[in-house]
Structure 1
Amino acid sequence: MIGKLGEQVTQLFRKYMPDAFVFAILLTLLVAFGALFWVGVSPLEIIVSWYDGFFDLLAFGMQIVLIIITGFAIALSPAVNKGIDYLTRFIRTPRQVYFFVVMIGMLLSLVSFGWLVITAVLARELALRIKGINYAFLIACVYFSMNSWVMGLSSSIPLLLNTDKNFLIDAGILETVIPTSYTLGAWLNITMILLLVLGAPIIMLLLLPKHQKPKELCELLAESSDETTMSIQEEASLIELPKKAVSDRLNNSVILQAMIVLMGVTYIVYHFMTKGLDLNFNIMIFFFLILGLLLHKTPIRYVVAMKRASSNISGVLFQYPFYAGIMGIMLYTGLGERLAQLLASVATIDSYPFYAYLTGGMVNFAIPSAGGEFAVVGPGIIEAVKEIGAGLPEKQVTAMISRASLSIAYGESLSNMLQPFYLLLVIPIMAKGVNIHPRDVMGYLLIPFLLFFVIQSLLVVFMPLA
């Protein structure tokens, strides 16, 4: 019954959901009208705010691009292909693939949401080897698996609260840092992790479409003429000149590549020895880059791998600035702050976690970045919580702020299932060479969103923090 309902929702999404770029345009206009009629900002101020924010995500967009192509290049290496061939000895059916992909994706995302790329690579390779996989549903499984990132080691809001001299302390909103024992180490967060890692794979299996013939990846590839069957080594050899040349010896030099890999490994070891488990985007990109160089052995093979990995990233390149523009309108017109104040104004000591959760989910549509969103709505929510908790012991107020902050993070992450911003992290890898779009995927995510919205809402309100 649940699976059949999921199929019906998917058909509705295919019928009514536009392309991801059109979604961004519609969202831009919606936020602009909100600033115009609710905040009372002039049209010119809205346009200026849109432009001012338009390029704020350029660095982030470039990081996303590099995460995608360096991760995908690793997957194109012979060593990884052999490893996945070995894995298929134990994972042989579509249901096992769906379950495994969701669970491993949740675990990887606990390290960093950038590791969603690894899940996407793994899922695509499994889909090439195992028959009967509904490929659009598998992409939905991969995308859903990123939900655990806000509970893990790279969760930006808890890490910000535990950072000395963060903007909340500088602004006088907080007096001191909030240790991660109140957030990432809280029973509420641990329960959320168990819920997602153990519960989400089972729920996705219950939603598996049963009444439609699945379109498999091999079938989709057969419909396209873009996918090359030539190996990277074969393509690299075509670049060589008919006669021996110094340029070819340099292009195929294992020693040159090994020297760069040695330098890279040295820095990676130095980074973690001096900075601890600091898994920021830059070190992850660098790690993926060095690992790719190691696996492909020669410079020219890595060039070919990166060329293939880069062939499907146009969506990220031109759509991220539009989301940055939306963020600019929310930030520079005061619309985001007004929305946070509205929701905080109706909160009570019993309901404030739910309103914080709701705020995180709603504002995420316009500011799909946990750190950026918290910079806009965090101060208003924290001030409201402090007012609600006036007269209570300091430790209790700190716990309330921690619960509200976690609630914003959970809401921000889950609402990604209703908008395709971070799906652009998955599509370049999983849709390479096939004609598949976000609207083919998003419908499978509505019911999981609704189920987890109810469960998480109850947990943020009633689950003890410690």
Structure 2
Amino acid sequence: MPTDVSTAAVTGKSLNDQQDTGESQGGLARLAYGFTQWAEKWFPDAFVFVILTTLVVTIADLAIGAAPLEIASGFGSGFWSLIPFTLQMAMVAITGYVVASSPPCTRLIAKLASVPASGPQAVAWVAFVSMGASYLNWALSLVLGGLLVRALARRVDLHMDYRAASAAAYLGLGSTWALGLSSSAAMLQANPLSLPKSISDISGVIPLSDTIFLWQSVVLYFALMIMSILVFYFAAPRGRHVKTAADMGVDVTSELTTDQKPTRPGDWFEFTPVLPILIVLLAVGYFWSQFAEKGLLATVSSLNNYNFFFLMLGLLLHRNIRSFLVAVSKAVPTATGVLIQFPFYGAIAAMLTHVVGSDGVSISHHLSALFVSIANGDTFPVVIGIYSAVLGFLVPSGGGKWIIEAPYVLQAAQDMQAHMGWAVQVYNAAEALPNLINPFWMLPLLGIVKLQARDIVGFTFTQLLFSAPVVMFLLWFFAQTLSP
């Protein structure tokens, strides 16, 4: 396929340079594609790993001498312990989708699509928008990024690689989301009403000022963003290596949102903007009172307030009840994994912390002792980071996995007198890394761009090769600047 002239002009490379660049990057892409083929053949659904983890913890409890009935009791009593948090995380996904698919956001996406002047620039631009949106809401970044990719694909002058751009739309969830306002672990630790007793007994409440609002965390976020944009700009295929949406068999002429009109008098209530505006005015009054009583930081630290804001914003942006409800119906499937898996995570957490062996000690205490024995104040961030990244590939859920890990990670941090808030951020930054190659959270995005995981994993795997060492180094480096 010939290279677009504007692409060559903007990038300052000749056609041969562009083709050589594509060839030099093909080795990594082929390696990642081979990994994806293996994963698609042998890797089961993420829910299987939840079941396997439950059984492994059961066996571990038996190994330390716990009574079978006590294990079963811990499983049952912990199963519904995360109901508030489960609903909160489901609403994060739903409200993010609703906002991104609203008509004003659709118009914003059209404006954003007019910015880049070449295919590689378009890929880098998608990465920037996705990671920027992820700081506010991880689901928003997926949907906004996916819709932006479709809008850019309609610009034939860009000659943009559709696979690379779709992979760039995933970077918000694959690199930076856990360092932002929708961080499951940080939000959980900052909300006493959502915090399980098994965790609060160890750490107590950890405010956002000690996690995502640490200057070290903010610098880490921007460092990852800059590096990711550069990686994707240079990794974007050029010249004959480009595969457009048409090449991938994807129709980008249709949109997810459609205009509807009333067909009967009774539809007036569903289509009038008056009712949404009145409800939003009530929400504005609520937030005004919250700001006056608790201040800005305490108000935004509440996960309920966070979801409430995005829900009201979605209602306002859709302007009528019918459009809002259509968006909600399309958004609900994005929360399927959260709804079915989080109860099992609650059960696993209880089995780790409340079930004790013959020596009167739980598995979480054994694990924290293990971390203390193999790590010290200097190596703790790297040890925990590597562990969280590896486990994150098996249990692809930031919030649910934190429920499992928090008891022994925070206990180990306390025993070594490490900064408790930075321990949360170590988890956050490292936990996002396996998302780059795990297809579980790709599903909402893939549904929008109409691709399969194997189409984009080659590019996200390339990003992982750069991100992993940088993240581990910065986690270690910034830990030296913090005191308990």
Please classify the TM superposition score into its range, dividing by the shorter chain length.
Answer: 0.7 to 0.9
The equivalent position to 1:292 in structure 2, one of 314, 318, 327, is 314
Distance 1:186 1:74 in 2: 28
Distance 2:213 2:316 in 1: 36
| Shift of residue 196, structure 1, vs aligned partner | 1.1
1:196-231 deviation digits (Å, cap 9, x = unpaired) = 1211111122332456442417964439xxx96797
- Shift of the 124–443 alpha-carbon distance from structure 1 to 2, 3 Å rule, reads same
- Counterpart amino acid of 2:445? V
Superposition TM-score, scaled by structure 1 size: 0.75
| Shift of residue 417, structure 1, vs aligned partner | 2.4
- Contact 2:385 2:472 survives alignment (8 Å): yes
| Shift of residue 23, structure 1, vs aligned partner | 2.6
- Contact 1:358 1:408 survives alignment (8 Å): no
When structure 1 is superposed on structure 2, of 193-202 and 315-324 the one drifting more is 315-324
- Shift of the 446–24 alpha-carbon distance from structure 1 to 2, 3 Å rule, reads same
Partner of 1:360: 388
The reply on whether 1:196 has 2:221 as its aligned counterpart is: no
- Contact 1:141 1:204 survives alignment (8 Å): yes
- Contact 2:75 2:348 survives alignment (8 Å): yes
| Shift of residue 114, structure 1, vs aligned partner | 4.5
Partner of 1:392: none
When structure 1 is superposed on structure 2, of 37-46 and 358-367 the one drifting more is 37-46
- Counterpart amino acid of 2:308? F
Partner of 1:446: 461
- Contact 1:2 1:206 survives alignment (8 Å): no
Distance 1:81 1:178 in 2: 37
| Correspondence list, 1:126-165, <5 A | 126-131=151-156, 132-146=159-173, 147-155=175-183, 157=185
- Counterpart amino acid of 1:133? M
The reply on whether 1:265 has 2:265 as its aligned counterpart is: no
Distance 1:4 1:413 in 2: 25
1:165-188 deviation digits (Å, cap 9, x = unpaired) = 9758963x45x8767665545554
| Correspondence list, 1:59-458, <5 A | 62-117=87-142, 119-120=144-145, 122-131=147-156, 132-146=159-173, 147-155=175-183, 157=185, 171=201, 173=202, 183-184=211-212, 186=214, 188-210=216-238, 212-216=241-245, 220-222=249-251, 232-233=258-259, 235-237=260-262, 240-241=263-264, 245=265, 247-275=266-294, 276-277=296-297, 278-279=299-300, 280-307=302-329, 309-310=330-331, 313-314=332-333, 316-317=335-336, 320-322=339-341, 324-325=343-344, 328-329=347-348, 331-333=350-352, 338-365=366-393, 368-388=396-416, 397=417, 399=419, 401-428=420-447, 430-431=448-449, 434=450, 436-458=451-473
1:370-421 deviation digits (Å, cap 9, x = unpaired) = 4554444334344444544xxxxxxxx454x454443223222223323334
| Shift of residue 301, structure 1, vs aligned partner | 3.9
1:79-99 deviation digits (Å, cap 9, x = unpaired) = 333333333332243322322
Matched residue SS, 2:481: coil
Distance 1:462 1:364 in 2: 22
Matched residue SS, 1:232: coil
| Shift of residue 363, structure 1, vs aligned partner | 3.6
Distance 1:185 1:231 in 2: 35
- Shift of the 295–25 alpha-carbon distance from structure 1 to 2, 3 Å rule, reads closer
Distance 1:161 1:25 in 2: 25
1:280-313 deviation digits (Å, cap 9, x = unpaired) = 4443443333333333333334444545x34xx5
Distance 1:5 1:370 in 2: 31
- Shift of the 457–222 alpha-carbon distance from structure 1 to 2, 3 Å rule, reads closer
- Contact 1:340 1:359 survives alignment (8 Å): no
| Correspondence list, 1:28-39, <5 A | 28=50, 30-32=52-54, 34-35=56-57, 38-39=60-61
Unaligned runs of at least 5 residues, structure 2: 1-22, 354-362
Percent pairwise identity: 22
- Counterpart amino acid of 2:321? P
- Contact 2:389 2:432 survives alignment (8 Å): yes
Distance 1:230 1:379 in 2: 42
Matched residue SS, 2:457: helix
- Shift of the 376–9 alpha-carbon distance from structure 1 to 2, 3 Å rule, reads same
- Counterpart amino acid of 2:162? Y
Distance 1:52 1:180 in 2: 30
Matched residue SS, 1:256: helix
Partner of 1:465: 481
How many residue pairs get aligned? The number is 438
- Contact 2:381 2:475 survives alignment (8 Å): yes
- Contact 1:20 1:420 survives alignment (8 Å): no
- Counterpart amino acid of 1:287? F
- Shift of the 64–212 alpha-carbon distance from structure 1 to 2, 3 Å rule, reads farther
- Shift of the 111–250 alpha-carbon distance from structure 1 to 2, 3 Å rule, reads closer
Superposition TM-score, scaled by structure 2 size: 0.73
The reply on whether 1:40 has 2:65 as its aligned counterpart is: no
Distance 2:221 2:212 in 1: 10
- Contact 1:183 1:402 survives alignment (8 Å): yes
| Shift of residue 8, structure 1, vs aligned partner | 0.8
Partner of 2:39: 17
Unaligned runs of at least 5 residues, structure 1: 389-396
When structure 1 is superposed on structure 2, of 153-162 and 183-192 the one drifting more is 153-162
Distance 1:3 1:157 in 2: 35
1:19-69 deviation digits (Å, cap 9, x = unpaired) = 999332442354255336555369998888767666666655554554445
After superposition, the CA RMSD in angstroms is 4.1
